[in-house]
Amino acid sequence: MRFNMPQPLQHEHAALHERLCQATQVGGEAGEAAKTLARLMHPHFVKEDQIAPPPLGQRARVAA
């Protein structure tokens, strides 16, 4: 069974990724720091996308 992450959380994640991507384009120390953060956070984002949808997708069913 495929579970979908709630839309507000999907939008929040997309916005976070977009802001981080923008920050990597700034240049200088801030841009380099953003690139480092993106590299370090990537495994977390991937794992979160694998783990979070099942329980979050069940919220409506459990609440009913």
pLDDT for the residue 51:
78
Express each pLDDT in 24-46 by its tens digit: 999 999 999 999 999 999 998 88
Asked if the model's pLDDT at residue 62 lies above 80, the reply is: no
Kindly state the DSSP code that residue 4 receives in the 8-state scheme.
-
Give the mean model confidence (pLDDT) for residues 52-59. 68
Express each pLDDT in 6-21 by its tens digit: 778 788 888 998 999 9
What is the rounded distance in angstroms from the CA atom of residue 44 to the CA atom of residue 64?
31
pTM: 0.66
Residue spans of the domains in the chain: they are 24-64
| Sign of the alpha-carbon dihedral angle for 18, 22, 25, 30 | negative
